[in-house]
Amino acid sequence: MLWVTCPRCGHRPIDEFKFGGEIPDVPASITDDAARDLDRVWMFNNVDGVTTERWFHEGGCRRWMTLKRDTHLDRVIED
Amino acid sequence: MNEFVETLLDLHWHEPKSSYDVVIVGGGGHGLATAYYLATRHGITNVAVVEANYIGSGNSGRNTTIIRANYGIPESIRFYQHSMDLYKTLEDDTGCWIMHNTKGLIWLAHTESAMRSERARCQLNTAMGTETIMVDPAEIKQLCPQIDLTGSGRYPVLGASHHVGASTARHDRVVWAYAQGAMRLGVHVLQNTPVTGLLMDGDRVTGVKTATGNISAGVVMSAVGGDVTQFAAHAGVRLPIRTHPLQAFVTNGYAQGFGPIISDTELLSYVSQTARGQMLIGAEYDRQQSFSRQSSFDFLQSCATKVSYLLPFLKNLRIMRQWTGRCDVSSDFSPVMGFTPAPGFVITTGWGTWGFKAIPAGGEAMAELIATDTTPEIIEPFSLNRFATDHSMADQGSTGTR
Ligand SMILES: Cc1cc2nc3c(=O)[nH]c(=O)nc-3n(C[C@H](O)[C@H](O)[C@H](O)COP(=O)(O)OP(=O)(O)OC[C@H]3O[C@@H](n4cnc5c(N)ncnc54)[C@H](O)[C@@H]3O)c2cc1C
Ligand SMILES: [Zn+2]
């Protein structure tokens, strides 16, 4: 079981959280406005490594938080 | 594939050539079926399927083998129904026994709102020519005597939709059938050959890079499963895909005679019996994306608890094996097939947790697309450019249980 440290509730099992997905990060190489919108809405970086993502503490404070996770091993990175 | 299996099949291994008309990256069901239909339907045999590991080592050899067409949007029902029809004749077409077995799928409802969803599913399926009918608890008990209709007092069964034609087939036999059929006609299958990059001429993809050398190609097709984001990036192609692990497990043998496939939206899990008699149990994919193939005890515990509410006999069985695959889940839960912004580079992905059933129709359509350089009508709705034109194919019916 993954554990997450919520800044408000402390060390909690990941079952209490809802996955909000990676924070969209449109590559600078895409310059056209419409293409940037398309990428932000539909495309994913789907990084095989460390990502920055949003999680919602549904079974706790019911607030959003930002988390770093290594998707290669599925480990939360605490800093 | 192990040495014993190899002795049973008519496989011809080749040294790689430096150039092919078509190079397909990924020796899963979709890659091999495309090669098979290129050879059998279009006479295109100067083809290589390049596989990093052994054929079927990806999700095509890890799935729970459910073949069904009871989807939630017309475009999907039509596509998957066609795939079901191709599965029915696959043994005759390839001469291989894939252990295809029609079982029917019962999709249980425990609430009035779930009943409404199942009724809507029946209406839409029927309109599209797919046989899905409502059944009441007494009929469910007849189809599946092992079920506890009270759901152990916790999940009472109000009714279900019965997708009569749903079936299963032995997954790796499907992979081998397509590989053998393609190789007999001269297709090269190169195992243990990871593709490390793409050869480019400007925007155009002109071949693949491997540790043992470059291979040039008229067309390169990506059929790499969960690794697709990283792979397509070699061609500068961005995808609406997230990779999520999906787990499953089997028990020890139970008396043969568990007839149908049982699926449940509220409990997010499904159960069937393998030809060996093991009970095969699967659920939803892990909520967070990841490339890890680590199976978890949490999954096992929660999934086993849920299915035991409905099928209490499962409590007396033992869990033999548990495993994980990495699924290419798309933004709208529908596949992504066809051309990409990079000329010479076509793709089949977005197969997520539902692409085994699609192997015949997906392979057939991609072969036609490559051979004719036009998108076949049946897969037009699933083109990558649908997101740019605001025609996403949102289908919550496409995951195993949803
Ligand atoms: C546990 C589980 C249960 C499932 N249950 C069902 C079900 O009941 N019904 C259903 O319809 N679907 C199901 N699925 C989904 C189904 O298994 C997949 O959608 C389908 O197998 C995808 O086939 P594929 O050929 O696209 O990919 P894969 O079979 O994953 O093949 C991709 C291949 O590409 C290779 N590869 C990757 N990168 C490279 C590279 N760089 N160079 C060379 N080769 C590479 C990999 O080694 C792999 O062999 C399930 C999946 C899982 C994990
Ligand atoms: Zn909290």
DSSP string, B120-172: HHHHHHHHTT--EEEE-HHHHHHH-TT--TTTTTTS---EEEEETT-EE--HH
| pLDDT recorded at residue B1 | 65
Beta-carbon separation of B288 and A39 below 8 A? no
Proportion of chain B above pLDDT 70, given as a percent: 98
Pair of tokens at residue B42? 């279009």
Q: Which domains does chain A have, with CATH numbers?
A: 3-78 (3.30.2270.10)
| pLDDT recorded at residue B7 | 77
CA of B150 to the centre of ligand 1 (A): 36
CB-based contact B161:B133 (threshold 8 Å): yes
Pair of tokens at residue B210? 């491997």
Q: Decide: helix, strand or coil at residue B181.
A: helix
Q: For the purposes of burial, counting CB atoms within 10 Å of the CB of B300, is it exposed (0-12), middle (13-18) or buried (19 or more)? A: middle
Q: Decide: helix, strand or coil at residue B278.
A: strand
CA distance B209 to B233: 14
| pLDDT recorded at residue B163 | 98
State phi, psi for B59 to the nearest 5 degrees: -65, -25
Residues B330-376 have pLDDT tens digits of 999 999 999 999 999 999 999 999 999 999 999 999 999 999 999 99
Proportion of chain B above pLDDT 90, given as a percent: 92
Proportion of chain A above pLDDT 70, given as a percent: 99
CB proximity A48 to B under 8 Å: yes
Beta-carbon separation of A43 and B292 below 8 A? no
Q: Which of B241, B291, B297 sits opposite A44 (nearest CB)?
A: B241
CB-based contact B311:B262 (threshold 8 Å): yes
Closest ligand to Cα A55 = 2
Residues B228-283 have pLDDT tens digits of 999 999 999 999 999 999 999 999 999 988 999 999 988 889 999 999 999 999 99
| pLDDT recorded at residue B402 | 39
| Inter-chain contacts counted by CB atoms under 8 A, chains A and B | 68
Pair of tokens at residue A55? 């999680």
CA distance A58 to A19: 10
Q: Is the CB of B172 under 6 A from ligand 1?
A: no
Q: Is the CB of B103 under 6 A from ligand 1?
A: no
Q: Which residue has the tokens 């749903």?
A: B166
The model's confidence at residue B401, banded by pLDDT at 50, 70 and 90, is: very low
CA distance B311 to B306: 9
Q: At residue B400, does pLDDT exceed 50? A: no
Which residue owns the Cα nearest ligand 1 atom 2?
B63
DSSP string, B80-114: HHHHHHHHHHHHHHH------EE--EEEEE-SHHH
CA distance B353 to B402: 11
DSSP string, B53-79: SSTT-SGGGTS--EE----SSHHHHHH
- Closest-CA residue in chain B for A35? B388
Mean pLDDT for B38-43 is 98
